[in-house]
Amino acid sequence: MKLIQLYGDRGLKIVKGEGQYVWDEYGKRYIDMHTGIGVAFLGHRNKTVIHYLQRQMNEIITLSNSFSTPIRDEMLDALDKVKPSAMDNVILLNSGTEAVEAALKTARKITGRKKIVAFKNAFHGRTSGALSVTWNKRYREPFEPLVSPVEFLNFNDINDLSKIDNNTAAVIVEPVQGESGVIPAKEEFMKALRETTEKVGALLIVDEVQAGFGRTGKIWAYQHYGITPDLVTAGKAIGGGFPVSALFLPDWIANKLEEGDHGSTYGGNPMAMAAVTAASKVLHEEKVHEQAYHKGELFMKILRDKLGDLKSVREIRGKGLMIGIDTRFPPSITLKVAQESGVLVLKAGATVIRLLPPYMITQEDMEEAANAIRQGLLKTESQRVSP
């Protein structure tokens, strides 16, 4: 039996993780700034998450949402302290793409409209609905026709927002575009987008699957922009490593949904609820978002100090502990050199090195990572100028 590799193989067998570190089969330690594309933001094997999962395993593992459980009540209480503002309702699912699917379906039902607006370079998932609002044609074209109509506008371009009209059911946006290269939205753009959607009666969906749950220095990345969206999707870090996602909704939308409008066999299972409970407690009690803000500021400074003189570096950008190093060349060599040096990072877009470390990283970790990335960039530069 062979496992189909739909992601590139890094040639590394990981056998253990703890906090911000993982170890390979030979006992070599790595600083993990890949974190399963941002999932392990609360660290590998977070003690609170493990405690809640183990406790739940000893009670009941799987159960339909038709039945209530004690962990459901505990989860709702924990989520209440970290939820997006004015959103007292949540639907639990299994993955980010499922949360996006639920958001798109909800928007169409609530507005009675069909058209969805997304943005160029956006990534929202790989199932048919989420894929239809994902920009990269390499992902989309083999599977078309997808859900339509969908119109893609220029990200951070206020003038393009005039194309959002009275036929638009929803606009979906990442407050920080992750897959395309860690590109933060501009404040004036997000405010204009909110004003435009309100004017035409379209719902504003903010996709926080990667940027949300404390990573950018706020609990939710949209909070950087002084707006309130209509729907918020979450995933990755929200389960502390356990597969779970969420769609948050205000009362005025939730009250219009009916039994059968959406569903998932495993969505909101007791184990997922235990994971969300634990992760929410960690986020709230340890003020994870505040740590991410301060550590992100420090990490950006270290990276600029150590990489700023390199000709291959165009820009270092991001928010909190969601950081991108935009280079003049594809980053494959740098990723390999960093891995050999004991640092795991990943690619975004065509030329960006993406860093998604856990919130407990130290200054020593940051220095080590910056040095490893520098060596990779220097090797890239030397190979580019070699005859």
Which residues participate in the annotated binding site for substrate? 126, 264
Give the Cβ contact number of residue 175 at 10 Å.
26
**Measured distance CA(77)–CA(267) in Å, rounded:** 18
**Measured distance CA(201)–CA(380) in Å, rounded:** 50
Please enumerate in sequence order all residues whose Cβ is within 8 A of that of 125, keeping only pairs 6 or more positions apart, or say none. Answer: 95, 96, 97, 98, 100, 101, 131, 134, 209
**Measured distance CA(237)–CA(321) in Å, rounded:** 13
**Measured distance CA(232)–CA(246) in Å, rounded:** 8
Q: From 168, 173, 164, 149, select the one nearest 111 (Cα to Cα).
A: 168
Q: Three-class SS of residue 349? A: coil
Dihedral sign computed on CA atoms, order 203, 207, 213, 214? negative
Please enumerate in sequence order all residues whose Cβ is within 8 A of that of 326, keeping only pairs 6 or more positions apart, or say none. Answer: 181, 313, 314, 315, 316, 317, 351, 352
Dihedral sign computed on CA atoms, order 322, 37, 142, 118? negative
Q: Specify binding-site residues.
A: 96-97, 123, 126, 207-210, 264-265
**Measured distance CA(48)–CA(381) in Å, rounded:** 44
Q: Specify binding-site residues for pyridoxal 5'-phosphate.
A: 96-97, 123, 207-210, 265
Q: Three-class SS of residue 148? A: coil
Between the alpha carbon of residue 16 and those of residues 6, 19, 44, 172, 175, the distances in Å are: 23, 10, 9, 37, 33
Q: Three-class SS of residue 360? A: coil
- DSSP-derived letter for residue 179 is T
Between the alpha carbon of residue 366 and those of residues 211, 214, 304, 343, 380, the distances in Å are: 20, 19, 12, 10, 21
- 204 and 173 in contact (C-beta within 8 Å)? yes
